[in-house]
């Protein structure tokens, strides 16, 4: 592998460029017209413009991505996360042109990316999945399925994708009638598939996910777990590793379940197996598999000292993983804050624009993954995240203190950001001293927060 096309943008594109540099691989960046002067474009060895700013005409076009890879004579394509990262048509198009896709094979992605298929596989392996339904196409089907489950509250979920798209809490039959069509339409727009299913909704839960890596030689390992419970409307704002305050036997079962599921799926590459931990029952259920690198992968890298993106490149070259399970040691605690160009006090309204000033914190245990610099443009077409601030310290208490200090030194001018929200979170006594559940931010913190 001598030349990789990076089919993504923003901070993850910068991250992949860095990994290619470390591996001695030439990086070619596919960019839309409005990203021609981005930081990733400045750092990549070569840039290919693939279309206008609209994602559907650039980053979401399989034909344009493959054409760019062929034009630049690339051996491989790295999709990053989001966009086409879990689209089997890109995997298959790459295979047709003898281009290596840096991720799972198409059939593995199909089995893991479809939530219902992954759920059935998990159930067959004895992994707890909770009560749930098959795929549903109509409101009447959903009402009948909910009546059969008779286990309110329930959760409407999209079968074909994640990120909270189409996800709605259902507390009675009328809620099913009211929300099913909207959820299905949202899923259709986001993933090209409006199939919805129902599963039991856990009121007091922690969102715990396990990072796995697998090669084509049968080696599957986990890199511990992350706690992603600090979220709003199913969108993660803060991620941590490891998950503290849970019994070790529960963590062992969650980690083993992730590895067993990856083996059952014949998984290859980097991926994440997500679970919901019921804090009242002290048990867990399987949620889904993300067949790609995750936004929050840096916290795992900080506590394991393993470069997940470089391992992706090695696996894609046909090599074995560079370590075994018994060599994975979790050290200390890491926290990641997603810094978005949003007005958190105005319903998190995104703010495209120009970054006129940028100063990032420096110091031991501090990492900043970003595409920001003075003069950088935040286009209106894409996600509003401009940076990830990550810290690592010996304990969670020390990590929250370090994150608070790092946030105080992070300066972004020209657009509003979520920095004030994160600073208040790190100073909150409840957040500091006890792991929170998935509804804590929305139901407890935000109603009482004043910037």
Closest CA to 88 of 75, 74, 107, 65: 107
Q: Give me the catalytic one of 87, 292, 314, 367.
A: 292
Please report the sign of the dihedral spanned by the C-alpha atoms of residue 44, residue 49, residue 53, residue 59: negative
- To the query of whether residue 9 is one of the catalytic residues in this protein, the response is no
3-state secondary structure the chain: CCEEEECCCHHHHHHHHHHHHHHCCEEEEEEEHHHCCCHHHHHCCEEEEEECCCHHHCCCCHHHHHHHHHHCCCCEEECCCCCCCCCHHHHHHHHHCCCEECCCCHHHHHHHHCHHHHHHHHHHCCCCCCCECCCECCHHHHHHHHHHHCCCCEEEEECCCCCCCCCEEECCHHHHHHHHHHHHHHHHHHHCCCCEEEEECCCCEEEEEEEEEECCCCCEEEEEEEEEEEEECCEEEEEEECCCCCCHHHHHHHHHHHHHHHHHCCCCEEEEEEEEEECCCCEEEEEEEECCCCCCHHHHHHHHCCCHHHHHHHHHCCCCCCCCHHHCCCCCEEEEEEEECEECCCCCEECCEECCEEECCCCCCEEEEECCCCCCEECCCCCCEEEEEEEEECCHHHHHHHHHHHHHHCEEECCCCCHHHHHHHHHCHHHHHCCCCCCHHHHHHHHHCCC
Q: What are phi and psi of 227, to 5 degrees?
A: -105, 120
- Spatial CB neighbours of 327, under 8 Å, sequence gap ≥ 6: none
Say if residues 418 and 339 touch (Cβ distance below 8 Å).
yes
Closest CA to 263 of 159, 121, 123, 162: 121
Say if residues 165 and 187 touch (Cβ distance below 8 Å).
yes
Sole residue written with tokens 């030439």: 26
**What distance in Å separates the CA atoms of residue 312 and residue 318, rounded to the nearest whole number?**
10
Which residues are part of the catalytic machinery?
Answer: 292
């Amino acid at each position: 592998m001598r030349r990789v096309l990076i089919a993504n943008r923003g901070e993850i594109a910068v991250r992949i460029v860095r990994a290619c540099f470390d591996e001695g691989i030439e990086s070619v960046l596919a960019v839309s017209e409005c990203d021609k002067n981005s930081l990733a474009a400045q750092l990549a060895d070569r840039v290919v413009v693939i279309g206008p700013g609209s994602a559907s005409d650039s980053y979401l076009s399989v034909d344009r991505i493959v054409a760019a890879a062929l034009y630049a004579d690339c051996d491989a394509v790295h999709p990053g996360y989001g966009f086409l990262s879990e689209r089997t048509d890109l995997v298959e198009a790459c295979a047709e042109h003898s281009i290596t896709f840096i991720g799972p094979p198409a059939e593995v992605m199909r089995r893991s990316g479809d939530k219902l298929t992954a759920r059935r596989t998990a159930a067959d392996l004895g992994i707890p999945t909770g009560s749930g339904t098959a795929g549903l196409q109509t409101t009447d089907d959903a009402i009948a399925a909910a009546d059969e489950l008779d286990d309110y509250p329930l959760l409407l979920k999209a079968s074909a994708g994640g990120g909270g798209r189409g996800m709605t809490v259902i507390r009675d039959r009328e809620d099913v009638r009211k929300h099913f069509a909207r959820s299905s339409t949202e899923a259709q727009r986001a993933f090209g598939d409006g199939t919805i299913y129902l599963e039991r909704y856990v009121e007091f839960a922690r969102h715990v996910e396990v990072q796995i890596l697998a090669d084509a030689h049968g080696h599957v390992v986990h890199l511990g777990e992350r706690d992603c419970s600090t979220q709003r409307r199913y969108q993660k704002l803060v991620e941590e590793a490891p998950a503290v305050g849970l019994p070790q036997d529960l963590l062992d079962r969650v980690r083993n379940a992730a590895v067993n599921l990856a083996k059952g799926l014949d998984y290859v590459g980097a991926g994440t197996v997500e679970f919901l931990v019921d804090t009242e029952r002290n048990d867990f259920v399987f949620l889904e598999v993300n067949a790609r690198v995750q936004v929050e992968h840096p916290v795992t890298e900080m506590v394991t000292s393993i470069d997940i993106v470089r391992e992706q490149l090695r696996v894609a070259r046909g090599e074995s993983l560079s370590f075994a399970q018994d060599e994975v040691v979790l050290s200390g605690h890491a926290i990641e804050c997603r810094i978005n160009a949003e007005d958190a006090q105005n319903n998190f309204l995104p703010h495209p624009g120009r970054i006129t000033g940028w100063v990032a914190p420096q110091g031991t245990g501090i990492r900043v993954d970003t595409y920001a610099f003075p003069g950088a443009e935040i286009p209106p077409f894409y996600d509003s995240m401009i940076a990830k601030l990550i810290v690592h310290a010996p304990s969670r208490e020390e990590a929250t203190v370090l994150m608070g200090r790092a946030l105080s030194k992070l300066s972004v001018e020209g657009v509003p950001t979520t920095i004030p929200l994160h600073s208040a979170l790190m100073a909150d006594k409840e957040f500091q001293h006890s792991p929170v559940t998935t509804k804590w931010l929305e139901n407890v913190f935000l109603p009482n927060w004043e910037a």
